[in-house]
Amino acid sequence: MRRIVIKIGSSSLTGECGGLDRERVRFYAKEISRLADAGFKPLVVTSGAVAAGFRAIGYPHRPRLLREKQAAAAVGQGLLMKEYAEAFAEHDRIVAQLLLTRSDLSDRRRMQNALAAVEELLVRGVVPVINENDTVAVDELKFGDNDTLSALVAALVKAEQLVIATDTDGLYTDDPRRNPAARKIERVGSIDDGLFRMAGGSGSAVGTGGMRSKLEAARIAVLAGIEVFVGRVAAPGDLELAVSGRGKGTYFEATGSSMSAKKRWIGFHSLPKGAVDVDDGAAKAITEGGKSLLPAGVRGVDGDFHPGDVVEVRHAGRIIGRGVVNYEAAQLRAAAGLSSEEVKRRFDVARIEVIHRDEWVAFETLNVRGGLVP
C-alpha cells in the first residue's frame, strides 16, 4: 500500500490569535481518514505545539527565547494531540504520537528503532502523528523546521509521496501577493539556485517555515526518490487531488532512485562530522563515474573526524554528496593529493579509499541547472 507523508504547518492549524482551531484539525483528520479508507498508509508530520501552547501559558505573542518556546511546546503538545485523537476518533481511527529530535535520526540504531515502531503502527492501521521534540531539542540538533522533518520521515519510511500543505497554491516566479504578474510553476524537474532566489521568508506569524524551507525539504525528498507536492489543502477533496496529481500546487519530480537503508542514513539522516574538498577530476569520478574517492583527488579537509564518520564532500564551494570516511582528519590532511601507492608506503590505513563508492551518496541535482516547467 502506498505510504504518504502529509506535513501540516502551524498556520494551517491555528486561529488568528495563535490557539488551535479545532475545526481545522477535524478537517485534516477527515481528509486523511478518507485517504486511509482508500487504501493509503498516511503518516502526519505536524507543527502547532508552540503555537497551541503559548497563549495557554500566558505569553501575549509567540515566544522567541528558547526556554519560552520549550515551555510553550510542553503545554501545547498535549493540547495538539488531544485534538488529533478526538478528531480521528470520529472516523474510528487511532493516532500515535512520536516526538523526534535530530539526534534520533542521526544515530543509526535509534533511527532503526523509530522505524520499527512506525512500521508496527502502520501494520495496525494506526496513524502516526510526528512532531519535533521541541521541549528537549537544542539549536544545533534541531531539524530547523518541520518541513525538513517531513522530508526525513518520508525518506525513512520509503514513502511514495510527500504532501506539504501550505496556505498558498504552490510555487510562483515571484510573490503573487505583491506582483500580479507572478506565474505559478506547475512542475519542477530539478531544484536549482534560481528556485531558491524566488523563495522568500515565512508567510505566517505563527509558523517558522516559508517557501524556501519547503524547497529545502523537497530537495531532500526528491533525491531520495520521493515525489513532492507543495500546495493548498484547505477544502474537502484537496488532499485526494494532491495525491492523485491534480492538486492545487506545485509538483516536484523525484530525481533520485531507491536506496538501501544505509545509504538513506548516510545521505539524509546522518550528521556530518567534517568536510572534504575535491578537485575537478575527483568530483566527476564520484558523481558521474561511479568511482570511489581516492587521496589524490583531495584538496582540503575541514573538521575533526575519525574512520566511520560521515563527511560532506565539496567541489568549487558546493556540497556534492556525503560518505563514510576511512581516514582520520589529520591523517587525510597529510595524505591529500598523494597517489595511492605513496599513501600505502607512508600511512597505515585499513582502506586506501577516502570514501568507498558503496558508502557514498551523490547529491547530483545540486549541480543541475534549469528544469522548470511554468
pLDDT tens by residue, the chain, 374 residues: 699 999 998 889 887 766 788 999 999 999 999 999 999 999 999 988 888 888 888 998 888 888 898 899 899 999 999 999 999 999 999 999 999 988 888 888 999 999 999 999 999 999 999 998 866 655 544 566 789 999 999 999 999 999 999 888 898 888 777 888 888 899 998 887 778 777 654 444 333 347 888 998 998 899 888 999 999 999 999 999 999 999 999 999 997 766 787 888 999 889 899 999 999 999 999 999 999 999 999 999 999 999 999 999 999 999 999 999 999 999 999 999 999 999 999 988 889 999 999 999 998 533 332 233 33
Where in the chain do CATH 3.40.1160.10 domains reside? Answer: 3-261
Domain 3-261, CATH homologous superfamily name and number: Acetylglutamate kinase-like (3.40.1160.10)
pTM: 0.84
Q: Is 209 among the annotated ligand-binding positions?
A: yes
C-alpha cell at 39: 487504501
Where in the chain do CATH 2.30.130.10 domains reside? Answer: 272-367
By C-alpha distance, which of 128, 211, 106 is closest to 164? 211
Q: Is 213 among the annotated ligand-binding positions?
A: yes
**In CATH, what number does 272-367 get?**
2.30.130.10
Q: Is 212 among the annotated ligand-binding positions?
A: yes
One-character DSSP codes across 306-343: -TT-EEEEEETTEEEEEEEE-S-HHHHHHHTT--HHHH
Q: Is 47 among the annotated ligand-binding positions?
A: yes
Q: Is 69 among the annotated ligand-binding positions?
A: no
Contact 164, 217 (CB under 8 A): yes
Q: Is 9 among the annotated ligand-binding positions?
A: no
Q: Is 203 among the annotated ligand-binding positions?
A: no
Q: Is 166 among the annotated ligand-binding positions?
A: yes
As a whole number of angstroms, the distance between CA 288 and CA 117 comes to 37
